[in-house]
Amino acid sequence: MDNQEFSLPKPTPVIPVTPAAPGAYPSHATPALQQGENPFGERPRRPTQGRGIRGRIGSAIAALGALLAKFGVAIKALLVALPNLKLFVTAGTALVSVAAYSLFFGWWFAAGFVALMFVHEMGHVFALRREGIKASAPMFIPFMGAMITARSLGNNALAEARVGLAGPILGSIGAAVVAVIGALTGSDLLTALAYFGFFLNLFNLLPVVPLDGGRAAAAMSPWMWFAGLGVLVALVFLEPGNPILLIITLFAAFQTYHRWQQRKSRSLAQTAYYRVAPLHRLLVFGVYVGLIVALVFGMSETHILTSSGHSFGSL
């Protein structure tokens, strides 16, 4: 047997591979791997360490934008609901006043009294609208009455007088309607309510600002303001324990001083404001005096002695 020489194949050298740092590849890697590409055709994700702050800022801006959008929607909804908000203010303050007056006169009388004040204030609102001026909704203040606000009362003293007298005119009509219903039904409560309604409108005709009579006096003769203020001061001395009357007097004194100082400036605007034709002065005076006479007559016809045992709390 011939001796044959056998030789084993040489083993293939094995190159050890050590873990590479992220993003690094060994020198024998393919050109594609050296460029940082994935052999499966997908690009590897880049480190996000440098983009973390920018990402958070972007998220915050997006959240702020969403919040502002929601805030804008809320503002639009509020503007749409603004008329309802005015109604809410009127109804809310009216309920508070009814509750306050009911402590002394009962619920039915209190509700009727607030309703008559509402009629009075709506007279001012209607007159302001005729003058082209927007007025606020009536707001009630317990034991102080009711009020509305507007940017002005007209372009001149005659317009101010029309706005001022409109409240007592409509308020007197409302009280007269209550008086007629009270007489037809024999309700002492309605008759007493009409009496207080007449009295409320008569008191407002005192010729002193900011009462309605003071508005009329601006067109008749501003000197009447001092006469009305004198009547209020006399009432304070006659009723020293009435804090509401004292508050009204102090406020009227401040308003009278302020208006008189403006008028004394004799500027062109003030001169034009108080320029009223004699015929218009006479008409304002006639309506003013006629209202006083009608209200005094209404009070005399609806006066009820409360000592007779009648209760204002039930019909």
Q: How many CA atoms lie within 13 A of 197 on its CB side?
A: 38
Residue 310 tokens read as 């009648």
The whole-model pTM stands at 0.70
pLDDT at 145: 87
The answer for residues whose C-beta is within 8 angstroms of residue 232's C-beta and 6 or more apart is 206, 208, 245, 248, 249, 252
pLDDT at 152: 84
**pLDDT, tens digit (0-9, with 9 covering 90-100), for 122-136:** 999 999 999 999 888
pLDDT by 10s per residue, the chain, length 315: 444 444 444 444 443 433 444 444 344 444 444 444 454 455 555 555 545 666 666 666 666 556 555 555 554 454 444 555 667 788 889 999 999 999 998 999 999 999 999 999 999 999 999 999 988 888 999 988 888 888 888 889 999 999 999 999 999 999 999 999 999 999 999 999 999 999 999 999 999 999 999 999 999 999 999 999 999 999 999 988 888 899 999 999 999 999 999 888 888 888 899 999 999 999 999 999 999 999 999 999 998 754 444 444 433
**Residues 201 and 171: beta-carbon distance below 8 Å:** yes
Is residue 66 packed enough to be buried (19+ CB in 10 Å), middle (13-18) or exposed (0-12)? exposed
Between CA 178 and CA 115 the distance in angstroms is: 11
**Residues 156 and 264: beta-carbon distance below 8 Å:** no
SS3 assignment, position 150: strand
